[in-house]
Chain A
Amino acid sequence: MPVSETNTTEMGPGIPAPKDRQWTARVVRLVRRPLLYLLLTAIGLVLFTPFILAFLGTFKSDAEIIAWPPSFLPAEWLFENWPKLFSTDFGGRPRPEGATSLGLMAGMLVFFGAFLLGGMSSETKGRGVPRRIGLPAAIGLAFLVGAMAAWYVGLGFDGRLLQLTVGAAFFVIALIGVGVLAMSEPDWGRVLLAMVAALLLGGLTTVLFEVFAVIAGGGRFSRWLYNTALLSTVRAFIMVLFSAMAAYAFARLRFPGRNFIFAFMLASMMIPGAVTLIPAFIVIAKMQWVNTAYSLVIPSLVNAFGIFLLTQFFKAIPRELEESAFIDGASFFQIFNTIVLPLAKPALLTLFILQFQGMWNDFLTPLLYLNTPDMWVLNVALSVFQQQYTAAWNITLVGAMVNAIVPLTMFFAFSRYYIEGVSYAGLKG
């Protein structure tokens, strides 16, 4: 530390006191560091105090937790408060359309992922089934995927518009997959095979995750945990995949309208969410998506911020690697899949974590769209819980702690990616 920082005003004018000066400087230097550590520890404790108090509160009795003056440690440690949370029941059976929607969202992720991964092996440059047979057949299969999704929705719920809209969403997603693969002059036989395999895999996943939802129950804590975990995971996965695709297009591919769309996307990030709240709710209510997983997953499968973040990241990757692959005859999708994505792993993980956390912590949208107890996510359940059992603060706090554990664990496991993501968002945004 430079000497000039120490206070020298006490010394009279014209009296040189180099020894005194050195002495003060040394004291400052000696004291500063422990003081700083003390201050940082104190701030850390203050920031964590609510969590520590709440954690200790979960073990207190109904009376002790609202007694005056509040105690620090529980008079008696009631460990049975924690299992109590899991045995609370808000009634309400698992509605079939709700469970189906959860299953189908998991199925959508598996179908799209398996289709693209399986389709990769078909990139052997147009041998086997010719394009004029393969392409229409693939489009037909995409239609079948949509039709099957619509049929499956109709099994548990009598609603034309819901069937139609969900079917259309699946058809479009399958079509996008076909389009992406078609760009690389593939072996169409293998594409069709990959599609059928993905359809089977996705269907199996759908049934499996629907059964899990039913087993998890209706208005029970296990179901809310299941809903939150499933929605957060599926949405974050698909969103990262779609964001990466769009970002690669914006960073590398030339197509008419690219700059305009990119500029529009940046501008759209400034629109306050309150503006779309009402009309989006109307549209979703009209499509009969209320109280299903579609309302939370499908409208937010893409995210301008995520695309922007990855675009900046892809632009920073040197082009040479891709160009040599291109000369070797690789398609854009192959380059994207085998060169760009592996290089971007840290950025993809960062985005995944931020999006997972974003869904896990969302409150307003689930509160608006999910009203039946079997579809609540943890945040909604927690707020209803607190209103219903105003006296049982200990159980409410258990709920709060369980809700906080997942984001906190993820944070401590991946804290580097969190901090990079947040600071990147700030600096380049």
Chain B
Amino acid sequence: MLRDRRARTEALTGYFFIAPYLLITLVFTIGVIAFAIYVSFTKFNLFQAPEWTGLDNYAKAFGDAKFLRSLGNVFWYVVIVVPAQTALALGLAVLLNAKIRGSSFFRTVFYAPSVTSSVVITMIFFWMYLKTGYINLFFTKLWALGGATWEPIQWLNNPTGLFEGIAAAFGGDISNVHWFFQGPSVTWMAIMFQNIFTTAPTFMIIFLAALQDVPPGLHEAASIDGASRWQRFRMITIPMLRPVIFLIVVLGTIGTWQIFDQVKILTAGGPLDTTLTPVYLIFIEALGVLGPPRMGFASAMAFVLAAIIFVFTLIQRRFIETGTEMY
């Protein structure tokens, strides 16, 4: 009898303790997603009642030039930024993991810029990317070292694609091929650089914590066997870090597919739609920037994006786990 009563009190207390989580999740996660699924099958502008249109929104999304363009843009973005920031973060972490005095000081200094908001950093980069800004000054000085002159460029208003530019440098012209194969635009790559610059230190901290969990005995044993520094990195550090690498690649992928802040502040999708992204499109549809808000269409785009992110994550898992079996 007493046990029963205690168990009942325990269960009731449990429910009261998770009540805030349950209620808010029920309304703002489960309820809202169920609603989004419904809305994605309707035509809905916020002011009139939703009108059922079936799969129309999804069909429209896959036929929408802007949406496809945004997916293509972000594809290049993910493919370049995620490996770059992961490698950079790992490199920084390995450097900081050296047993030297003051490494925690450097850790703090490296990480500090990442605690500020992306709006602040983007604003500063906006200013540095101006035609009369420091980035052009840097290239001017660099080119001057080699005796050449650098013509300052409009970093944030340059639709030239990467491959288009490379082809032009060799006298070719690929301006007629499909936009996807012209590669990311100069502006888009400028944003990529800024993103790598600001995200790498955060992931560096995660790598550093993981590196400190690698048993030092492994390295000692390997170096007694005559393994070089690089060999130990390849054969011990990387395999031991595999789960963390997977985590960082996944976090990076989910984050980069949803890039918004930089686009909103720096380019609004331009020039010539080369920096358009899905979340930016969803955002302007919701606010009705281009006419009446198309909530159904925006929801459909959001689900397509979520599906793509999900598939990407699955592929990465496959890829990284297959790697593990080698060891």
Contacts and interface: CB of A to CB of B under 8 A. Distances in A.
B16 A50 contact: no
Contact of A278 (B18, B21, B116, B295): B295
Given A36-B98, A254-B11, A364 B39 contact: no
A366 B204 CA distance: 29
A50 B29 CA distance: 38
Interface residues of A, number: 103
A51 B113 contact: yes
Nearest to B287: A368
Given A245-B20, A403-B116, A425 B206 contact: yes
A412 B108 contact: yes
B46 interface: yes
Contacts of B260: 363-364
A167 to B, nearest CB: 15
A83 interface: no
B46 A408 contact: no
Contact of B107 (A33, A39, A280, A419): A419
Interface string A395-429: 01101100110011011100100110011111101
Contacts of A18: none
A225 B92 CA distance: 34
A423 B117 contact: no
B247 A383 contact: no
A48 B202 CA distance: 15
A43 B92 contact: yes
Contacts of B123: 382-383, 386, 396-397, 399-400
Interface string B101-117: 01000111111110111
B229 interface: yes
B137 A183 contact: no
A79 B148 CA distance: 38
Given A66-B130, A299-B28, A278 B206 contact: no
Contact of B244 (A47, A255, A268, A426): A426
Given A53-B124, A274-B258, A5 B229 contact: yes
A408 B120 CA distance: 12
B101 to A, nearest CB: 9
A382 B121 CA distance: 11
Contacts of B258: 272-274
Contacts of A249: 13-15, 17-18
Interface string B297-310: 01100110110010
Interface in A349-399: 357, 360-364, 367-368, 378-379, 382-383, 386, 393, 396-397, 399
B79 interface: no
A302 B39 contact: no
Interface string A290-324: 00000000110110000100000000000000000
Interface in A42-57: 43-44, 47-48, 50-51, 53-54, 57
A299 B247 contact: no
Interface range for B: 35 or more
A426 B19 contact: no
A412 to B, nearest CB: 7
A361 B116 contact: yes
B108 A301 contact: no
Contacts of B92: 43
A285 B261 contact: no
Contacts of A152: none
A5 B197 CA distance: 32
Contact of A277 (B14, B229, B282): B282
Given A69-B140, A368-B286, A418-B115, 7 more contacts: A36-B95, A47-B197, A53-B124, A273-B258, A275-B302, A301-B20, A426-B247
Interface of B: 7, 9-25, 27-29, 31-33, 35-36, 39, 44, 46, 92, 95-96, 98, 100, 102, 106-113, 115-121, 123-128, 130-134, 136-137, 140, 152, 197, 201-203, 205-206, 208-210, 213, 223-224, 226, 228-229, 244, 247-248, 254, 257-258, 260-261, 264-265, 278-279, 282-283, 285-287, 295, 298-299, 302-303, 305-306, 309, 313
7 contacts: A245-B20, A254-B10, A275-B306, A299-B24, A307-B21, A412-B112, A426-B206
Please provide the 5 A-B residue pairs with the shortest distance between their CB atoms, ordered closest to farther: A426-B206, A423-B209, A361-B117, A255-B14, A253-B14
